[in-house]
Structure 1
Amino acid sequence: MGKLIVTENITLDGVIQDPTGEEGLGRGAWSQMGPLDQAAWAEFFTDEALDVEAMLLGRRTYEYFAGRFPSRTGVWAERLNSMPKYVVSATLEAAEWNNSTVLTGDIVDDVSKLKETLTGDLVVYASGRLVPTLLEHDLVDELRLMTFPCVLGAGQHLFGETGEQKPQRLVGNRTIGDGLVLLTYQRAN
């Protein structure tokens, strides 16, 4: 059984919404990086994709990725295009992106079964509506927070209310490029 890993681009104040400025939050593209940061960021995400068995995505994130990656080239794009992808959605009827499966049942049951059947790790990118549910039900084994040096002051936060505390243990921190910090946490129970 592999781990369920959530990897998020996040601001210092915990915002995950609208990193490219395309969603209309009105705070600009907070994920803009210099060349050194961009290269190190891309290397991290490429290495991560090569290390995991599959992706789990919410519908909106799936549609974002599916609208961009099939036409891209390079190691990262080729890996994302070829790996198994699972999409949690109550509205998506068919997933067109290569190797994609729509999960329409109970999220907790479906993801629990998926974790049991996979031998490698399962990564969740973005998916701001899905991640809180996974956290609430203790399905997340590891959080990887790619922290951008920006206080946005508005927008959707990764962590909302939970039914109880969700203790985490810091297991890694490193600088990515010259301005990003990757914080890695595992569930502390």
Structure 2
Amino acid sequence: MGKIIISENVSLDGVVQDPTGEEGFSRGGWFLQMGDADRDAWAKLELDEALGAEALLLGRRSDEWFAARWLSRSGEWADRLNSLPKYVVSATLQEPKWSNSTAFKGRVLKGDVVDEVSNLKQELDGDIVVYASTQLVHTLMEHDLVDELRLTILPVVLGAGERLFGEISDRKPMRLIDTRTVGDGLAFLTYQPVRDA
């Protein structure tokens, strides 16, 4: 059975909006402010995660964003990301953008997101990693489909912007299962839902 893993870069106050400053958010670009030691350590962490993934699960906008940045790259990390199976949740998309002509062509999940993702978890074994895709993350959290949260916390407080966790109908208790310092100033926190709380 597959595990849904949410893997996000967030500010200290939980903001995920416009990390690279390309969306026009007045406080965007916060991800680019880390130093070289942090960036190198973060890249190693991300490579390890990609090597351990079975597939990627993305929203349409994230699929387009990643495709524009990764398809032209090469190297171990890019090769791994580009070759992974991708499942894109979208009501309008016909074919995912982030795929590779020699690799698995992604599949678009249409219809009821909860049913589609539940079925995907039954079909696959291993980690199904979700990058970015904030609306999808909110839906997965609301319907208790998330098996693990991996948060890389950047040491910046933005005070405004879209946050990783939106409003939900009830509490979602989490258990901290791992903490690490990444580079000189990043924190990597891993949580699992407490299902029997």
Aligned equivalent of 2:157: 151
Aligned equivalent of 1:128: 134
Counterpart amino acid of residue 161 in structure 2: G
Taking the aligned partners of 1:51 and 1:59, their CA distance within structure 2 comes to 23
Taking the aligned partners of 2:193 and 2:56, their CA distance within structure 1 comes to 20
Aligned equivalent of 1:119: 125
Aligned equivalent of 1:68: 69
Aligned equivalent of 2:87: 86
**Contact kept in structure 1, 2:53 and 2:128, CA below 8 Å:** yes
Taking the aligned partners of 1:176 and 1:137, their CA distance within structure 2 comes to 31
Q: How far 1:10 moved relative to its partner?
A: 0.3
The alignment status of 1:54 with 2:55, answered yes or no, reads yes
* TM-score, length-scaled by structure 1: 0.98
Counterpart amino acid of residue 192 in structure 2: Q
Aligned equivalent of 2:39: 38
Taking the aligned partners of 2:26 and 2:107, their CA distance within structure 1 comes to 34
Structure 1 alignment gaps of length 5 or more:
none
Structure 2 alignment gaps of length 5 or more:
none
SS at match of 2:133: coil
Taking the aligned partners of 1:28 and 1:187, their CA distance within structure 2 comes to 30
Out of 172-181 and 88-97, give the one that drifted further. 88-97
Q: How far 1:2 moved relative to its partner?
A: 2.3
Aligned equivalent of 1:181: 187
Q: How far 1:139 moved relative to its partner?
A: 0.3
**Contact kept in structure 1, 2:150 and 2:189, CA below 8 Å:** yes
Give deviations 1:61-80, integer Å, cap 9, x for gaps: 11001111111011111011
Taking the aligned partners of 1:94 and 1:100, their CA distance within structure 2 comes to 7
Moved over 4 A (4+): none
- Aligned-residue sequence identity (percent) comes to 62
Structure 1 pair 109/28, CA: closer, same or farther in 2 (3 Å)? closer
Q: Aligned Cα RMSD in Å?
A: 0.8
Aligned equivalent of 1:29: 29
SS at match of 1:132: helix
